[in-house]
Structure 1
């Protein structure tokens, strides 16, 4: 049993994380950041939940042979689901705490 006070969580570096659980190869991790991540595509699906702060999520959609870049601002309580193959990058707007559920070892 563990109680984690997400609003109190900080890390020594941007995107530092605390593993909350690893269940059958799916991890749930709490991240703290004040810096953008990097453009990436996960090995599987990803659920990205903003627990504190705001995050601008950029993502690329394929329209024929063309990739279109879009973004959405996620507020506390918002959820972003990245399906397999979704290229995306998170840019916090100040400090943010994020819960990420994804395949263990995914980037």
Structure 2
């Protein structure tokens, strides 16, 4: 059994994380950040849930960059091949569920 108080979690660097669970190669990690990530495409699908803060999620669809603002409680699903990058507005805590080893 594990209890994590996500609002109290911080990391020494942007996108620092703690492992919540690994279920048959699918990881659930809590990330803290105050900086953008990098443009990337995951090898598999990814679920990105904002637990605290506001995040502008940039993604490309048919070669066109789009942006959606994610607030606390919002979930972004990146399917296979979805190129995306998260830009937090200040501090954010994000729960990410993805295949083990994804970037």
Q: Same fold (TM over 0.5)?
A: yes
Bin the TM-score by the shorter chain.
Answer: over 0.9
Distance 1:71 1:103 in 2: 24
What residue is the counterpart of 2:86 in the other structure? 90
Show structure 1 runs of 5+ residues with no match: none
Distance 1:60 1:44 in 2: 16
Distance 1:59 1:96 in 2: 18
State the superposition RMSD in angstroms: 0.3
Q: TM-score, normalised by structure 1?
A: 0.96
Larger Rg: 1
What residue is the counterpart of 2:67 in the other structure? 71
Corresponding residue SS for 1:7: helix
- How many residues in Structure 1 have an aligned counterpart in Structure 2? 103
What residue is the counterpart of 2:48 in the other structure? 48
Q: TM-score, normalised by structure 2?
A: 1.00
CA deviation map 1:59-98 (0-9, x unaligned): 0001xxxx10000000000000000000000000000000
What residue is the counterpart of 2:32 in the other structure? 32
Corresponding residue SS for 2:7: helix
